[in-house]
A and B are shown apart, each in its own frame.
Chain A
Amino acid sequence: MINPNSTPILTVRGLRASINGTEILKGIDLTVKSGEIHAIMGLNGSGKSTFAKVLAGHSAYEVTGGSIQFEDKDLLELPPEERARAGLFLAFQYPIEIPGVANTQFLRLAYNTVQAQRGKEELDPLEFDDFVREKMKLLEMKPDFLDRSVNEGFSGGEKKRNEILQMALLEPKLSILDETDSGLDIDALKIVAQGVNQITNKDNATILVTHYQRLLDYIVPDYVHVMQAGRIVITGGKELALELETRGYDWINENNSSIAGVLA
């Protein structure tokens, strides 16, 4: 929810980034304050996942301009693992499979690393097992996912749930969910949305990357941004998503200036 007294968690100014010499992000400005939920929409290939990965520090992208402030830290100074430990979480659009590494082992190491960073108690395998099973119930995940290799052979929807499970375990300051709703059936969508809603509170924030209004029925955004060719071209409230659903993205291009005027 929007609260005029809340403090910024993420401040992005003029962010430019390229990959293999091709500029993808062409000057992004975004401010996310605690307690807020932001949705980012936009056509395929407009740069949404790139933005998410640049925030998380993927080494394939070169940041060529701008700044990213995360609470009191200059994010661009930090390697990806330190960004994660500082409380930035990315639920991947395409979670990768890691054969041979047991999910439970992976989850526990991630959990303990973040706990250690926060000066909190680490859990041994038995304690962790109890803890993680509770969280899994919340997401209606079967316990046998613990013994399987990370994401290996998981269905598309199961991978997405595993991402949200990690989010629930790590209790991030800022969660970026990149198309977590894609590939989920209606029931799963509700469960995942419930999970996200339980985790969000006035001290953290969420960025949802999505193509569908449907998710926003369950997780109601405070702001909706539209990305186009590496820029945020328009920002509005939750109604903007509905508008886009009926009118499509062309409508923005045709009416860009006038809409911007209305929503500013």
Chain B
Amino acid sequence: MSAVLQSLVNQPYKHGFVTDIESDIAPKGLSEEIIRLISAKKNEPEWLLAFRLKAYQHWLTMTEPEWQNVRYPKIDFQDISYYSAPKPKKKLASMDEVDPELLRTFEKLGVPMHERAALAGVAVDVIFDSVSVTTTYKQKLAEVGIIFCSISEAVHTHPELIQKYLGTVVPVGDNYFAALNSAVFTDGSFCFIPKGVKCPMDLSTYFRINTEGSGQFERTLIIAEEGASVSYLEGCTAPRFDTNQLHAAVVELVALDNADIKYSTVQNWYAGDEKGIGGIYNFVTKRGLAKGINSRISWTQVETGSAITWKYPSCILRGENSVGEFYSVAVTNNYQQADTGTKMIHIGKNTRSTIISKGISAGHSNSSYRGLVRVAPTAEGARNYSQCDSMLIGDQCGAHTFPYIQVHNNSAQVEHEASTSKIGEDQLFYFSQRGIGAEEAVSMIINGFCKDVFQQLPMEFAVEATKLLSFKLEGSVG
């Protein structure tokens, strides 16, 4: 690879710092005792402890998956601390009382919380390590009957909803990492949009892993009742560490009749250094159930971080005429590995799904798209359109596409398109001959390549995503 391209893609991670907030850390290791400790620390009801223990028993019988196209050393699950919580100095009533250290952290991330909240009209439920520190705009949302809080809070305030829906989309024994999460999850977001309510603003959560060696096991549950709609934003950054950190979140979405859930993610976790040392392991289970007629689940993701990403936001299209969408940009650089894609499971009649996947690989990285489209015998008239494009920057990276198509109903229409392209020296020269520097050129090409996905993001998120891609792929040229 040329020197120009080399320096372009070797931009150091900008969010690598550790915030110094005293943590309350559980001893390392996983056992029934630890699970009881987590549950007790969180003062949980008996049924939730039972849920955790059942998941744990499942997990003990399972083995770590190895089919994905990624490589990493074996994880020692006994060397992970399963609980850590920052100690708030006192109870917080407003943003002014938020730990200034924490605010500075957000400042460094380039996402000042007050600005996001005020300017963008976004409710920010800040997840700092595993415990929610503060929740804003709660009042305003409460007026229309929306519940938006941490899941551990919801366990106490709305136990009937949690008990009714938790684990219904991703069962406790679904897969190795989901089982682990179900056993040890510490916190996450809960969001409930009641019948007929259109959520008046985008709901946003900033996740952040902060304590070295602590696994992160977030659990998110979003319910949209009949005719309700919500747009949910999730953004992640993490500080720089040398030891790998496991992140195994579970996200469950449920859309009832005519409901609409749009879930957008911009992810920028620490990816390891330019030699591939360190970085987050991001093994996430995200699934939406389009349960009711005419319901819609839409996933949009911009994946730029993590040493290893293993993630397939999926839709189960059970309701008649329900719609599933997956729009994804995955960027890998240096020695990053990503195996990501989606599953669209068509069960109801006339269900429709769209998959748009854009993979960008630079450096020595490897990126795979893995997608399953399954049309059940019941899914009369189901339709799917998939488009998977890969872009290579330099000649030492790889892109792979693994589409799995299983059609069990003759009336279904399934379409798959794929392409691979490359940013070449001559393209960059063409730009520079017109006065446009390499950084701007790469960013322009990449943005053009990702346009179909960025269009799906809420405005302010799209701006952020564009900047993030520039961070990832641009560097000091010359």
- Tell me the nearest residue of chain B to A149, going by C-beta: B448
- Tell me the nearest residue of chain B to A107, going by C-beta: B434
Q: Is the CB of B444 within 8 A of A84?
A: no
In Å, the complex CA distance between A168 and B52 comes to: 70
- Tell me the nearest residue of chain A to B430, going by C-beta: A96
Chain B residue numbers with a CB within 8 Å of A149 are: 448
In Å, the complex CA distance between A98 and B441 comes to: 10
Chain B residue numbers with a CB within 8 Å of A57 are: 432
In Å, the complex CA distance between A90 and B433 comes to: 7
A114 located at the interface, meaning its Cβ lies under 8 Å from any Cβ of chain B in the complex: yes
- Closest beta carbon of chain B to A53's beta carbon, Å: 8
Q: Is the CB of B445 within 8 A of A81?
A: no
Mask of B426-444 contacts with A, CB within 8 angstroms, 1/0: 1101111111111010001
In the complex, which residues 391-446 of chain B have their Cβ closer than 8 Å to any Cβ of chain A? Answer: 421, 424-427, 429-438, 440, 444-445
A154 located at the interface, meaning its Cβ lies under 8 Å from any Cβ of chain B in the complex: no
Q: Is the CB of A100 within 8 A of B435?
A: no
Interface size on B, residues (CB 8 A): 26
Q: Is the CB of B429 within 8 A of A109?
A: no
Q: A101's contact among B2, B435, B448, by CB below 8 Å, is which?
A: B448
Given A59-B4, A79-B478, A92-B430, A109 and B444 contact (CB-CB distance below 8 Å): yes
Q: A81's contact among B421, B437, B448, by CB below 8 Å, is which?
A: B437
Q: Is the CB of B434 within 8 A of A84?
A: yes
Chain B residue numbers with a CB within 8 Å of A177 are: none
Q: Is the CB of B430 within 8 A of A81?
A: no
Chain A residue numbers with a CB within 8 Å of B451 are: 100
- Closest beta carbon of chain A to B364's beta carbon, Å: 22
Mask of A147-161 contacts with B, CB within 8 angstroms, 1/0: 001000000000000
A257 located at the interface, meaning its Cβ lies under 8 Å from any Cβ of chain B in the complex: no
- Closest beta carbon of chain B to A194's beta carbon, Å: 23
- Tell me the nearest residue of chain A to B448, going by C-beta: A100
A102 located at the interface, meaning its Cβ lies under 8 Å from any Cβ of chain B in the complex: yes
Chain B residue numbers with a CB within 8 Å of A100 are: 445, 447-449, 451
B interface residues with partner A (beta carbon < 8 Å):
2-4, 421, 424-427, 429-438, 440, 444-445, 447-449, 451, 478
Q: Show 6 A/B contacts (Cβ-Cβ < 8 Å), sorted by A.
A: A56-B429, A98-B431, A98-B445, A110-B435, A113-B434, A117-B435
A interface residues with partner B (beta carbon < 8 Å):
53, 56-60, 79-81, 84-85, 89-90, 92, 95-96, 98-102, 105-106, 109-110, 113-114, 117, 149, 166, 170
| Besides the known contacts A80-B433, A84-B433, A98-B430, 16 further A-B residue pairs in the complex with CB atoms under 8 A apart | A59-B3, A59-B425, A81-B431, A81-B432, A81-B436, A81-B438, A84-B434, A98-B445, A100-B445, A100-B447, A100-B449, A100-B451, A109-B436, A113-B434, A117-B435, A149-B448
